[in-house]
Structure 1
Amino acid sequence: MKSVYKITLLFGITILVSSCHNTSAPNYQYFPNMYESVGYETYSESNAFKDGKEAQLPAEGSINRGFEPFDYENSTAGYELAKANLKSPLAVEDRNPEKGKELYDIYCMTCHGSAGNGKGKLVEREKFLGVPSYADRVITEGSIYHVVTYGLNSMGSHSNQLNPQERWLVADYVLKLKSEL
């Protein structure tokens, strides 16, 4: 008799539990904003920032991670100062002519040519005119580094493609090419 009661009780609980389940409505959601987030317009005003600005500015005086400040400004005066005073911080064992050539071939050769004579592929195809030969210029490692960092005339900056050590390697290789012209 006890087993009949147990079976009946189990059957009753099963019916009770299954009758409460509604397949057309979702279950309870904990943290519903995670499941159904509010969509914000990308550049809309928000009360998340001070004064209703679209974005928050970085703290004053902060610099980007991995950024190394360059003490010479992007001007003719800064170029002349770099030309006169700036020296490579690379130690002799850190100078890698093969890596310098590899970087030069990627970033510089298309305009300046493989020998540094200003006769690269883009100059031969007349896309750029007036690219100087290294033999015609008075250049130092500091002036080369400054130009690679900021750019000069038609040449744009390569500071976001080359880190500071790579720029010094390119400067070393350019001086090597100049000595061979």
Structure 2
Amino acid sequence: MLAMNKTGILSLALIAFSTVAILSSCKDKRSTGLEFAPNMYEPIAYNPDQKNPNFADGKTAQTPPAGTVPVGYTRFEYPNTMDGFHASKAAVNPLEANEKNLAHGKQMYVAMCGPCHGVDGTGNGHIVELGKFPAPPSYATGNSSRGGLMKDLTDGQIYHTIEYGLNLMGSYASQLSPEERWQVVMYVKQLQNGQH
């Protein structure tokens, strides 16, 4: 009889536990339960495209104050003009010419410039082979659209072109950091000499 009472008590406890578990799982399915760090799910800040009552014009995304520079931004001191291009002739590559910089420059060149300029710098990239765009001039033998030979472009002039773009080539300032631009310049200098 004692064994029967223990079995009955265990059975009753199991039935009670199962009932509680079933009933608690049937509550509102939309509830997420407890949240850890709810500010990660419900942002406090305004989104850039939201109206914002804190500013007179009601916009969240404000134009930065004049003269400010974003964190980590390196300003190229030569403007995007023909005079700026000619003045950039004086700019010198600040990076040390070593295997690491040259290898990274080649990697960036192949990824960013190679589709148009070709891996060897002769203007035979994949985009050109499609036949929809004219071939850019060869670094070793071509003429620059700004006058002179491509092989005579200085470090600063190549950097200026990467920074601002030219003709069908857009700016690569948002794709390549200043250091990567100088590394690409280092590799283009090799292509000007017919090395790759």
TM-score (structure 1 length as normaliser)? 0.70
- Aligned counterpart for 1:166 among listed residues 150, 175, 180: 180
Deviation larger for 63-72 or 87-96 = 87-96
- Aligned counterpart for 1:154 among listed residues 151, 168, 173: 168
Q: CA deviation at 1:134?
A: 0.8
The answer (yes or no) to whether the contact 1:118–1:132 under 8 Å persists in 2 is yes
Rate the CA distance shift 1:177–1:44 in 2: closer, same or farther, 3 A.
Answer: closer
What is the rounded CA distance, in whole Å, between the counterparts of 2:170 and 2:75 in structure 1?
Answer: 19
Rate the CA distance shift 1:63–1:180 in 2: closer, same or farther, 3 A.
Answer: same
What is the rounded CA distance, in whole Å, between the counterparts of 1:42 and 1:172 in structure 2?
Answer: 39
- Cα distance per residue 1:90-119 (max 9 Å; x no partner): 124586211111111100111001111111
What is the rounded CA distance, in whole Å, between the counterparts of 2:72 and 2:98 in structure 1?
Answer: 23
- 1:98-109 matches, cutoff 5 A: 98-109=103-114
- Cα distance per residue 1:6-48 (max 9 Å; x no partner): xxxxxxxxxxxxxxxxxxxxxxxxxxxx9x99xx998565431
2:74 is the alignment partner of 1:60: no
What is the rounded CA distance, in whole Å, between the counterparts of 1:110 and 1:54 in structure 2?
Answer: 40
- 1:85-96 matches, cutoff 5 A: 85-93=90-98, 96=101
What is the rounded CA distance, in whole Å, between the counterparts of 1:42 and 1:90 in structure 2?
Answer: 37
Deviation larger for 131-140 or 113-122 = 131-140
- Cα distance per residue 1:129-167 (max 9 Å; x no partner): 041111222311111111011101100001111101100
Q: What are structure 1's unaligned runs of at least 5 residues?
A: 1-33
For 1:133, the equivalent position in structure 2 comes to 138
For 2:18, the equivalent position in structure 1 comes to none
2:53 is the alignment partner of 1:47: yes
Identity fraction in percent:
38
The answer (yes or no) to whether the contact 1:45–1:52 under 8 Å persists in 2 is no
Aligned residues: 146
Rate the CA distance shift 1:175–1:54 in 2: closer, same or farther, 3 A.
Answer: same
- Aligned counterpart for 1:76 among listed residues 68, 74, 82: 82
The answer (yes or no) to whether the contact 2:117–2:135 under 8 Å persists in 1 is no
What is the rounded CA distance, in whole Å, between the counterparts of 1:168 and 1:44 in structure 2?
Answer: 39
